[in-house]
Chains A and B, each alone.
Chain A
Amino acid sequence: MPEERAIAFSCRGAWLYGILSLPQAAARPSSRGVLIVVGGPQYRAGSHRQFTLLARDLAHAGIPAMRFDYRGMGDSEGDLQNFENVDDDLRAAIDRFVAEVPGLSEIVLWGLCDGASAAAMYAPQDPRVAGLVLLNPWVRTEEGAARATIKHYYKDRLFDARLWKKIGSGQFDVKDSVRSLWDNVGKAFGPKLDAGTAASRDGAPLPERMQGALTRFGGRVLVVLSGADLTAQEFAALSHRSGPWQRLLGTPRFTRQQIDKADHTFSRRPWQDQVSSWTRDWLRSW
């Protein structure tokens, strides 16, 4: 059994809480550790506990893992932060991770949805970050969402992450859910999407800033996409068009995997196991 350790550390006057999952002392410790960056409305356990289980899986394979709540999420203090405003939280978490695990010299940031985007934006600022694992990265723009919807929705019966969030949330009625599914489709064609479209700090659209950050970051990147998720399909569409994104994702430091049937949060155990196994294999491949 991996050892698990609860930790508290501070960031801008707030206490943050996290959990370390550490390989057995007898195992040869890896100098590379994984920091799980939580996205969306989740806290450090993740939807259906996938971050808890992933961290244990990694530790079992000899890789130290840490997950934590950034300010305003889960147990941590402070106001809720937008995913574009968590650089200080990530830096504080990495500081603590490195201090807790002797011999740890390289950090891989692992994030889902806007956690992936937060990880990508942070990576070029910190030389300790050697790699990124990005699951269904959030690059939402109105135009991109509409295009992904038109292209994939009718053909493949794909669903928006928001719907799956509702399904996961418990309050449920089959007829209502099917109705709200169609409402969701309607919204993608409407004049405005309410999430992720806020003007950025430097004015450039989110996909451009992501591309800039991933270009400046010179390390390895593993991208894992769900086939049945509009957020993932919007990201995939970036690489279908020629231009800087296609060139970037075509470089050898990028590895790409997809699970065709998986939803936004990889909500079935075989999908989670596949993600975990790809993460482990990729971490050992360089």
Chain B
Amino acid sequence: MSDPGHAHADAFFLDTPDGPRFCMYHAPRGECRGALVYVHPFAEEMNRSRRMAALGARALANQGIGVLLLDLHGCGDSAGDFGDATWDGWLRDVAQGRAWIEERLGRTAGLWGLRVGALLAVVHAQTAAVAPERLLLWQPVTNGSGYLNGFLRLRLAGELLAGGSDSGGTEALREALAADEALEIAGYTLNPQLAAGLDAADARALGPRCPISWFEVTAAAGRPLPPAAVRVADTWRLQGSRVDLVPVQGPQFWTAPETIDCPALIEATLARLETPDA
């Protein structure tokens, strides 16, 4: 087999107090210009976006930015079962990844998150003792409660399509979670602690104290930015955060039934990082 002629990324299991976490480290090429930890999205969205995460990480590393892709507890190749994962545990995983790359590269790291991963990155930035160097948000989920409702509806749809009746709407499912019952949804076991943490996560609560580059993918050029995104960005600006809200045209690769790339999103991300003082 022919040699690739370049070094491969470093794939390893990071030992953390909560257990081993699978990591892919893409070392910066040339002079190091930055460090990022990638936080992946929720459940099946993670699988569908893995190629885009890898493409993005390689492109960033080529520009001198070291990237650590970390699989959260119970996700991807990391230890544990999804059904045992909790929101706070995931936040600890993010902090562990950040500590690792900061030690490796000797600088404060930023966080790069997609969808629910972006919400985790924001909550980390809201609460961490030392703010991350920056946030790169790809199509962030800003309201965990709304996202949880969407995930619960997958279960209702499954029940309808399997020929039964749905089990009483999202309210009934929320009651089950409140009664400490785990739910199996689209092949994933959702435990009540994870659901509660996601439900309570709200990007609007506090503007992160670091520069934020926020990318919204829209299907067609010239579409207005989603009003909800504009509202959150405005709320953060009022709280003193610096927010760039950048529209990008392309497919919603994290839900696409076939593997599909969104090169414009990677180009826009690299362009933001090229801009001085971004």
- Residues of A near any B CB (own CB < 8 A): 4, 6-15, 17, 19, 41-50, 52-53, 72-77, 80, 88, 92, 95, 157, 159, 162-163, 165-174, 177-178, 181, 228, 261, 265, 267-269
Contact = CB atoms under 8 A, between A and B. Distances in A.
Top 8 A-B pairs, shortest CB-CB distance: A48-B187, A6-B11, A267-B187, A8-B8, A15-B8, A169-B255, A165-B257, A171-B255
Interface of B: 1-5, 8-9, 11-13, 20, 22, 24, 42-45, 47-48, 50-51, 54, 58, 69, 75-77, 79, 81-82, 150-151, 153-154, 156-158, 160-163, 166, 184, 186-189, 252, 254-259
A203 B5 CA distance: 36
B4 A14 contact: yes
B163 A157 contact: yes
Nearest to A69: B50
B1 A11 contact: yes
B18 to A, nearest CB: 15
A4 B255 contact: no
Nearest to A174: B157
Centre residue among A4, A11, A42, A48 by max chain B CB count within 10 A = A48
Given A14-B4, A178-B160, A41 B257 contact: yes
Contact of B161 (A19, A80, A159): A159
Nearest to A74: B50
Contacts of B189: 269
A45 B77 contact: yes
Contacts of A13: 2-5
Contacts of A177: 157, 161
Given A177-B161, A178-B160, A168 B77 contact: no
Centre residue among A88, A167, A181 by max chain B CB count within 10 A = A167
Given A15-B9, A162-B257, A172 B187 contact: no
B13 A45 contact: no
Given A43-B51, A174-B160, A10 B2 contact: yes
B67 to A, nearest CB: 12
A172 B153 contact: yes
B161 A172 contact: no
Given A73-B51, A169-B45, A6 B258 contact: no
Contact of A6 (B3, B12, B254, B259): B12
Nearest to A6: B11
A181 B12 CA distance: 42
Given A10-B1, A75-B54, 18 more contacts: A6-B22, A8-B9, A8-B11, A10-B8, A11-B1, A17-B11, A45-B47, A45-B75, A72-B51, A73-B259, A74-B51, A75-B9, A76-B54, A168-B44, A169-B48, A177-B157, A177-B161, A269-B184
Contacts of B156: 174
Nearest to B7: A15
Contact of B153 (A46, A162, A174): A174
A269 B47 CA distance: 18
Contacts of B24: 17, 75
Nearest to B186: A168
